[in-house]
Structure 1
Amino acid sequence: MNTATSADGTPIAYESLGDGRAVVIVNGALSTAADAAGLAQELVDAGYRAVTYDRRSRGSSGDAPGSTPQREAEDLAAVIESAGAVDAVLGHSSGAVLALYAAGRGVPTGALFLSEPPLRFGIEEPADDLATRLQHYVDEGRPDDAIVTFQLEGVGLPQQMVEAFRAGPQFAAVLPLAQSTVYDTNLVHDSSTPSPEMLAVPGPVTILRGEQTFPILLTAADRLAEELTGAELVIVPESVMHRPDPAATIRVVAERLG
């Protein structure tokens, strides 16, 4: 992987695949660059260059104490600068929130493709102390409690679903990502009601959602499309329950980028 250096000196690991116009993929919660492999390959097959990266505190990227949403925006800016000639950013879940937040702060994202951003617009927001409690769990060496609490309170997943995930074989793989739950919580908390700058980003914006997904995500996508100047809402039937279908998603991207 390549390395970009963020504004605070944190190394951010990224990978560039293929040739052609570049699209940066920004992943959601509890994921790394590797989880974007399907989307990246579809971009390459469609004739684009796919740039994936490990967000701060994940995978091969570094971290710094007290990191903020602004730091994550700077990370994305560093990747864009290092990768060069980026035409679009495709963000999923909290990655979509980060992409919009960064664009609102002047990061040159190009066209934005926002897949099911978990915005709440002030409705049923998580407790204000959630990030503090998550950081406490991480500092105490209890990453499992941080992840479970984040899924229950931050994401709003059903108790039964979270318990099944905790008992399953994939839970161990996300334990090293516990610190990122703090960052995702702060990011979505700060941007859950988009700022005027976020609602006036200059580039074309396409908002994607499935027909079958969590109710909060249906509401978020539809409301953002109504409030964001010039945004287009695209329903992707193949994407089910907050899992973007790679082929269908990149088809939307390719149709709009040309």
Structure 2
Amino acid sequence: MTKNSYNAVTSKDGTTIAYRSFGRGPGLLVVPGALSTSEEFTELAGKLSDSFTVHIVDRRGRGGSGPQGPDYSIAKEREDLLAVQEATGAVYLFGHSYGGLAALEAAMATSAFAKIALYEPGVVVQSEPADWNWLSEYEKDMNRGDYRAAFAAFVRGAGHTPLSRLPKWYAKLILRMVIRGNHWSRILRLLSENLNEHREVRRLASTYPRYGEIRADVLVLSGGKSPESVHRMAGELERTIGRSRTLSIPKLHHLSPENGESPAEVSQCVRQFLIS
């Protein structure tokens, strides 16, 4: 496999799914989260490319892949990952956040993956209707064209930062100051896709017992700085999936696998799990 090559497959519904390939060795699919593309995982891939052929998927709606489509659901993500797995022969799988949720759904449909590492997958183990009020705010803000407000609604609702405890107007102001330029442009391009994806997170809330059917070895990673709800979710997955275990990495947070954060620490844990 040529190092740092850009490839594509056609998914079941005809959508093009692109992916970047790095290194040599057994195949490892990397599935980014909701507001990310393959570009944000090149450092993680580079750390693993001496032992694995790492294929970073551009999920539909981003990068070189086709659009989500009007009938988008996580079933489409599952079909996309199965298409990339068939093309690459990958036997390992890594998913971050919503990408971790997609990875779990793909693992339900195939026995091709021997080992699956997840970093804070987008699994909701317990849900009340009020927990999702932010999603309707997000949609209204998008319809009004107030994309900064939509992003603030998402960040507060997702609950991964202290901004969740601040009034929305104040969170919006802080986010405007700290997320600018190219970083904001990247997020802005994915806000509509992010809304669709979190509708799926809501739909799948509390359905995690289904993952008890997964027979692969599974490692659920989390960051020590992440909220307690994340660690409870990881514990529930460990109790649900027969061949699974959890590992919390001190000082890390939800975005740690991405470029410029802590991909070296994440990759070290993933490597040890995959080669053990």
Kindly indicate whether residue 230 of structure 2 is the aligned counterpart of residue 217 of structure 1: yes
CA contact (8 A) 2:23 2:52 kept: yes
Q: Tell me which residue corresponds to 1:43.
A: 48
Q: Tell me which residue corresponds to 1:187.
A: 200
Q: Tell me which residue corresponds to 2:184.
A: 171
Cα distance change of structure 1 residues 204 and 95 upon mapping to structure 2, 3 Å threshold = same
**How many Å separate the matches in 2 of 1:155 and 1:108?**
34
Cα distance change of structure 1 residues 145 and 76 upon mapping to structure 2, 3 Å threshold = farther
3-state SS in 1 of match to 2:49: helix
**How many Å separate the matches in 1 of 2:141 and 2:63?**
20
Identical-residue share of aligned pairs (%): 27
Shift of 1:237: 2.2
Cα distance change of structure 1 residues 61 and 106 upon mapping to structure 2, 3 Å threshold = same
Kindly indicate whether residue 71 of structure 2 is the aligned counterpart of residue 58 of structure 1: no
Match of 2:14 among 9, 24, 27: 9
The count of aligned residue pairs is 255
Match of 1:251 among 268, 272, 276: 268
Letter in 2 for 1:235: S
Letter in 2 for 1:69: I
Match of 1:120 among 91, 106, 124: 124
Q: How does 1:83-232 map to 2 (within 5 A)?
A: 84-106=88-110, 108-123=112-127, 126-127=131-132, 130=135, 134=138, 138=142, 142-155=146-159, 157=161, 158=163, 159=166, 160-167=170-177, 168-169=179-180, 170-232=183-245
CA contact (8 A) 1:25 1:89 kept: yes
Gaps of 5+ in 2: 1-5
CA contact (8 A) 1:118 1:216 kept: no
**How many Å separate the matches in 2 of 1:10 and 1:143?**
27
3-state SS in 2 of match to 1:127: helix
Kindly indicate whether residue 32 of structure 2 is the aligned counterpart of residue 27 of structure 1: yes
- Give runs of ≥4 in structure 1 deviating > 6 Å: none
Q: Tell me which residue corresponds to 1:76.
A: 81
Cα distance change of structure 1 residues 140 and 6 upon mapping to structure 2, 3 Å threshold = farther
Letter in 1 for 2:81: L
Shift of 1:196: 3.9
Letter in 2 for 1:224: L
**How many Å separate the matches in 2 of 1:88 and 1:162?**
39
TM-score (normalised: structure 1): 0.87
Letter in 2 for 1:179: S
CA contact (8 A) 2:99 2:122 kept: no
Shift of 1:10: 1.1
**How many Å separate the matches in 2 of 1:77 and 1:204?**
18
Cα distance change of structure 1 residues 12 and 19 upon mapping to structure 2, 3 Å threshold = same
Gaps of 5+ in 1: none
CA contact (8 A) 2:28 2:91 kept: yes
CA contact (8 A) 2:38 2:56 kept: yes
TM-score (normalised: structure 2): 0.82
CA contact (8 A) 2:30 2:56 kept: yes
What RMSD in Å do the two structures reach over aligned CA positions? Answer: 2.5
Shift of 1:246: 1.9
3-state SS in 2 of match to 1:119: coil
